[in-house]
Chains A and B, each alone.
Chain A
């Protein structure tokens, strides 16, 4: 109680000191939540690309087209357990470019059985997986379903017709059979369709000059290659090397290269945002140092008295450290509270279909409040030490 009273004794000074911490933690919370959101997105990429080998056309080939027969050749490579054709299209062709932390809305076509192999598992909020052998069915990610206000049983034309669509623009009606749960990564913006439907969209996307000359049922854009579950990244890299050496006309990308690219991007973003926030917080911490030194200077006689009535160096130091820690804790709680409120409000006002900007995680909560508290404690060490080392004889007669 006395510690709380001591903090409350100088209301304006305590308010200003705590405000310094509040601003720092507020910055740490919002910047950290932004970094957490970005990292969640990247972690999804790491989870997905870290579990398979992406095989596409070889370097120099302009069109992303591969014969489906390559899948059998790939399956013959040592270590390959499964291989699936994969197709990807813009869901909103011709949409004006916009900056977003998320991935653009996309149509992904493939074999629904691939989900059993994928490192990033998706689950259904409603509905079910596309029926095997069906056509005209679509499963929507959480963001894209909200963006277009679709639920199971609704129909949606894909790709979405642009406002200034050319006369020869073609799209097709799909029935929504499932809505995925939020993943905070790419699948949220994906519309999943069957392989045959993907081949249909592939044909629509081909130049008119060759559209009728190509049998799209024998073509894929890329191949997702899987080893048996639990295969290490290094082993997947070896499989990519073997595919490149044994299968002609394809290019297998080492998953470690993709994963490292994701990780380094995330690390840089986290470093920039967190460093900016920590800088603000450390400046706040310096105000705690100043306040505690002032508190010690004002309470020299009190310290002398406490020593006279039996307080040890440890007792005096603990009291001042607790006071500084309390300032850090209060600042941390208020700063985190305001920061959390801002992130919730901003996320809540994000238009449907756009990726939210912030992600509050338990780790960030513990870090923000814990760091502020620790900062208060550390900031209090020097003033508390000075208090504890005061000579009681001098302190008691201090004017």
Chain B
């Protein structure tokens, strides 16, 4: 089955003598092309869930399947390859490399996949689609917050991933820019049929997703469909 399946996904940390249940037995199915907003208070497990989905963390218990692959069976190198090919990340603080220009930043993930060098044209197209074709050679310091985040979005898509994980992508920009970014994400979701999992505190933005998952104390409190799933072409 294409898509993502979480089966009793659990992540516990030890802090001092105390066990922190960051994610506690979450079971979910995420279909291709969904636009999911994950909401909840600080410490509810949103970011932990994102890190697990992005294979940056290994679960304490439970299973995570991405496109039918049991990720628990993968070694570190295979996890890195899957992260490169199947997952895109967008962070609140953009995380663009200051020494690279816009095009080089977008092309960064291509370094870590085979035949990645062929992706330059795709990177240029993506930069064009996020409206920054006149900023190809600009450095991150020469961009506004909204522009930087659009570069980060283009970067997240350059390897044609099946899922993009967005951690508070509008947290560092003003409301108007935030809405422009969400519009861009919705358009890419619609056109590319890429799955978006967006962690946010902003209820307005969460309301524009097709599905809202509310977490509390590491558990799924609610899981609601709030819009139409974009049909897969």
Contact = CB atoms under 8 A, between A and B. Distances in A.
A, B from the same assembly: yes
B83 A305 contact: no
B193 interface: no
A111 B95 CA distance: 83
8 contacts: A6-B99, A301-B95, A305-B91, A305-B97, A307-B80, A308-B89, A310-B113, A393-B51
Contacts, number: 59
A2 B100 contact: yes
Given A392-B56, A396-B91, A311 B99 contact: no
Interface string A293-312: 00000000110111111111
B57 A393 contact: yes
B81 interface: yes
Contacts of A311: 80, 111-112
Contacts of A9: 99
The 3 A-B residue pairs with the shortest CB-CB distance in the complex, in nearest-first order: A310-B84, A310-B112, A309-B109
B119 to A, nearest CB: 12
B56 A393 contact: yes
A5 interface: yes
Main secondary structure of the interface of A (DSSP, over half): helix
B76 to A, nearest CB: 7
Size class of the B contact interface (CB-based, 8 Å): 20 to 34
Contacts of A173: none
Nearest to B78: A312
A308 B51 CA distance: 9
A135 B79 CA distance: 88
A5 B99 contact: yes
Contacts of B113: 310
Interface in B81-117: 81, 83-85, 89, 91, 95, 97, 99-100, 104, 108-109, 111-113
B112 A308 contact: no
A214 to B, nearest CB: 86
B106 to A, nearest CB: 11
Nearest to B152: A305
A315 B80 CA distance: 10
Contacts of A312: 76-77, 80-81, 112
